[in-house]
């Protein structure tokens, strides 16, 4: 996964425009901002803490992560502690989603646009790229 380079803002933008529901996009874009600080693009926080940080209920956070896993944006690894207790799940952005985001970033660059460009232009380029890919 080290072939991909995104700032937190860039990855958050791609997550927001990836076709998730509005609440899922908002929750995961906030998590993506932090995930982009690592070369492995992972999220390892309890749902309870993410709910407190984003202002959504814990059940909405769980649904958001489930939606992202079902769409192939995230993969999930259930973490069990040394004393067989459940820990926070480890979520990673899938290589296929990161490849999509990298292609979208390249398409934006070729179109002489930046992620910070007008949202309608960015959405148009992302929609074209998204139509070509299956996660």
State the pLDDT at residue 114.
74
pTM of the model: 0.81
pLDDT of 26 reads 94
- What pLDDT does residue 134 have? 57
Would you write out the chain's pLDDT as a tens digit for each of its 135 residues? 457 788 888 888 888 878 889 999 999 999 998 888 888 899 999 999 999 999 999 999 999 999 999 999 999 998 888 888 888 899 999 999 998 888 878 877 887 877 766 567 666 766 666 656 555
- The CATH class that applies to domain 8-132 reads mainly alpha
Residue 18: CB atoms within 10 Å: 23
Backbone angles phi, psi at 94, to 5 degrees: -70, 150
Residue 96 burial (CB < 10 Å; 0-12/13-18/19+)?
middle
Which of 76, 9, 17, 67 is closest to 43 using CA atoms?
Answer: 76
Is residue 90 within 8 A of residue 46, CB to CB? The reply is: no
Alpha helices in the chain (DSSP H): 8-16, 22-35, 47-54, 58-70, 95-110, 119-132
Residue extents of the structural domains in the chain: 8-132
């Amino acid at each position: 996964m080290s072939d991909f380079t995104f700032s937190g803002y860039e990855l958050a933008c791609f997550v927001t425009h990836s076709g998730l529901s509005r609440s899922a996009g908002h929750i995961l874009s906030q998590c993506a901002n932090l995930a982009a600080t690592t070369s492995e693009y992972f999220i390892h926080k309890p749902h309870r803490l993410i709910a407190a940080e984003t202002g959504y209920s814990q059940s909405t956070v769980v649904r958001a992560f489930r939606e992202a896993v079902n769409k192939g944006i995230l993969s999930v690894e259930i973490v069990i502690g040394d004393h067989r207790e459940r820990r926070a799940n480890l979520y990673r952005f899938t290589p296929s989603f990161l490849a999509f985001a990298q292609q979208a970033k390249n398409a934006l660059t070729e179109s002489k646009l930046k992620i910070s460009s007008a949202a309608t232009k960015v959405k148009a380029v992302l929609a074209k790229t998204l139509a070509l890919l299956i996660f």
